[in-house]
């Protein structure tokens, strides 16, 4: 049974699943679909052609599916999708896609968007992504599964953040971050591997040592980078995470790749 506060506005045409809770002063537009168990705590706005998956929670003053901040946008029926059990905290904004982009903004399942996060038009977030407070991003950003974005970071449009990567707080990210990489600084530079994230995913010490050796070959040795990529694939390409990083590097990119600076030292090396 659904629970809708008398002060909430649910437009004709909106589709509500079972056990939906819509709190005080919320607004749900006519083209919105709310899955089973969705909870809009209060003062939340969901509009446009937007779908919230099962168990999604929107906290006060969050807005999802509103028009993008793109001067080329002319009201086209673009979309926004939020995956199951994702939590969107206070004052977050998730804008729908654009006709000149992919046409959809998508946030995966079981993500956490902390307070005052902005997800721009045509961005795609994978599952289990954590974005800390005050993070902003331009359009068309891709963040793969399990990545963590530190507080007040800024992501340039078209940037790709690889699976399991970590972006340090207050970092300005203007190029791509390899899977399981860790970047920090303004502008962000590759500081090493996200060792904590790798251990949380169950990698043992031998696997981490192998990955670190591949990382050093890629980013610390001399010579042409393309040649180092080929050598890394030859020596370590059988390792699935190394192969994932190499595939990420070789994919087309609009922003290039964040590289390592010699002065930056991995946390593990410094310990």
pLDDT recorded at residue 261: 65
3-state secondary structure of 256: coil
Check 31, 47, 122, 176 and give the catalytic one: 122
Structural domain range at position 266: 198-270
Q: What is the pTM of this model?
A: 0.93
Looking at the fold, whether 125 and 46 belong to one and the same domain comes out as yes
Check 43, 118, 121, 156 and give the catalytic one: 121
Looking at the fold, whether 114 and 207 belong to one and the same domain comes out as no
Looking at the fold, whether 127 and 10 belong to one and the same domain comes out as yes
Residues paired with residue 14 on neighbouring β-strands, in sequence order = none
Tell me how crowded residue 74 is: count the other CB atoms within 10 A of its CB.
10
Residues paired with residue 166 on neighbouring β-strands, in sequence order = 148, 182
Among 97, 120, 140, which residue terminates a domain? 140
**DSSP category for residue 176:** B
Length of the chain: 271
- The answer to whether residue 161 sits within a structural domain is no
Least confident of 132-141, 146-155, 257-266: 257-266
Residue 266's pLDDT band (cuts 50, 70, 90)? very low
> Is the model's pLDDT at 269 over the cut of 60?
no
Nearest by Cα to 192 from 239, 114, 258: 258
Query: What pLDDT digit, counting tens, does each position of 7-54 carry?
Result: 999 999 999 999 999 999 999 999 999 999 999 999 999 999 999 999
How many domains would you assign to the chain? 2
Domain with 123 in it: what CATH number? 2.160.10.10
Domain with 248 in it: what CATH number? 1.20.1180.10
Query: What pLDDT digit, counting tens, does each position of 188-209 carry?
Result: 999 999 999 999 999 999 999 9
Residue 210's pLDDT band (cuts 50, 70, 90)? very high
pLDDT recorded at residue 271: 30
What tokens were used for 163? 């699976």
| Dist CA 253 CA 267 (whole Å) | 28
Residue 262's pLDDT band (cuts 50, 70, 90)? low
- The answer to whether residue 178 sits within a structural domain is no
Check 139, 146, 162, 197 and give the catalytic one: 139
pLDDT recorded at residue 91: 98
Query: What pLDDT digit, counting tens, does each position of 88-106 carry?
Result: 999 999 999 999 999 999 9
> Is the model's pLDDT at 86 over the cut of 60?
yes
Catalytic, 43? Answer no
Catalytic, 122? Answer yes
- One DSSP character per residue, 17-71 reads -SS-EE-TT-EE-TT-EE-TT-EE-SS-EE-SEEEE-TT-EE-TT-EEEEPPS-T
């Amino acid at each position: 049974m659904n629970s809708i506060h008398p002060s909430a506005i649910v437009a004709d045409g909106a589709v509500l699943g079972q056990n939906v809770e819509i709190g005080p002063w919320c607004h749900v537009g006519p083209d919105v679909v709310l899955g089973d168990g969705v909870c809009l705590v209060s003062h939340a706005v969901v509009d446009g052609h937007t779908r919230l998956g099962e168990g999604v929670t929107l906290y006060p003053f969050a807005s999802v599916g509103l028009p993008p901040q793109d001067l080329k946008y002319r009201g086209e029926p673009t979309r926004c999708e939020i995956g199951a059990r994702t939590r969107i905290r206070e004052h977050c904004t998730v804008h729908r896609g654009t006709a000149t982009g992919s046409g959809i903004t998508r946030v995966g399942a079981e993500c956490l968007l902390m307070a005052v996060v902005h997800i721009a038009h045509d961005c795609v977030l994978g599952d289990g992504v954590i974005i800390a407070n005050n993070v902003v991003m331009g359009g068309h950003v891709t963040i793969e599964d399990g990545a963590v974005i530190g507080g007040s970071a800024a992501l340039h449009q078209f940037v790709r953040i690889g699976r399991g990567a970590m972006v340090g707080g207050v970092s300005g990210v203007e190029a791509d971050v390899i899977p399981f990489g860790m970047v920090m600084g303004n502008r962000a530079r590759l500081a090493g591997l996200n060792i904590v994230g790798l251990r949380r995913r169950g990698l043992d010490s031998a696997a981490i040592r192998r990955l670190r050796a591949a990382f050093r070959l890629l980013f610390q040795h001399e010579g042409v980078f393309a040649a180092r990529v080929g050598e890394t694939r030859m020596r370590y390409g059988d390792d699935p995470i190394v192969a994932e990083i190499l595939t990420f590097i070789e994919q087309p990119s609009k922003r290039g790749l964040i590289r390592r600076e010699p002065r930056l030292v991995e946390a593990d090396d410094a310990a």
